[in-house]
Amino acid sequence: MPGKDTSVNAMKAALTEKLHIDLRSNPIHVSMDGDDIVIDGAVETIACKKRALLIAMGLEGVSGVIDRLKVRPSSTMSDDEIKKHFDDAVCSEPTFRGLKIKAEVNGGVIDMEGVAPSLCHKRLAGVLAWWVPGSADVINSLEVSPPEEDNDDEITEALRLVLEKDGIVNASELSVVTRSWVVTLRGVAGSEAEKEAAEDDAWYVWGVNDVVNEIRVITSGTKHA
């Protein structure tokens, strides 16, 4: 079994070589707590955060991951402002009518608790939290009652719903396929921003392990052969 220093060095190497993070200008602290690896710092995107955690989970000699990795928010907001934005989003979502979803915010991290009637509701609530401009991380502790068996189709259903609710994305032009928790996006987008928003939405969905973005960007000025 590799030593603790070996696991820490392997993680730092992966951050640099696989995720192209310059650890001098963007320091991320990696350490071991027993057999668990601890990752603390901030990255630019949700994709980078999730890929870093998946890499950590796959390291030899690592039993678990203590996730303290945040995503740099698009806007600076106080915890109270973040909570209000999230509460307003939940209240304005018709599918959450009658549900009791509570959120605590600490340091930009939204921690949700309550009961959701389906996995789709749980996933949608998580995405609404990520959509708050000031959120840096989301802990989705919603309990699904009655319990449901999770599968790829559940992820596809939730992501299709999310894409339909995203005002930046034209969901009718996109297709979603999920295999073994990996989402593949296909179709066309009118801009790079729309393509990136669709990919972010996929990463925001709880349970997604990877995203393959095959969306083609076709602007109004693009000429067809």
Distance CA 89, CA 129 (A): 8
Whole-number Cα distances in Å, 14 to 50, 51, 59, 66, 69: 13, 10, 10, 17, 15
pLDDT (tens digit per residue) in 12-33: 999 999 999 999 999 999 999 9
Q: Name the phi and psi angles at 141, rounded to 5.
A: -100, 20
d(CA 155, CA 202): 9
Q: Tell me the pTM.
A: 0.92
Q: Can you give the pLDDT of all 225 residues of the chain as single tens digits?
A: 456 789 999 999 999 999 999 999 999 999 999 999 999 999 999 999 999 999 999 999 899 999 999 999 999 999 999 999 999 999 999 999 999 899 999 999 999 999 999 999 999 999 999 999 999 999 999 999 999 999 999 999 999 999 999 999 999 999 999 999 999 999 999 999 999 999 999 999 999 999 999 999 998 765 444
Token pair belonging to 107:
């340091």
Which structural domains are found in the chain, ordered by start? 4-71 (3.30.1340), 79-144 (3.30.1340), 152-217 (3.30.1340.30)
49, with CB counted inside 10 A (0-12, 13-18, 19+), is buried
User: Using CA atoms, how far apart are residues 75 and 89, in angstroms rounded to an integer?
Assistant: 17
d(CA 162, CA 208): 13
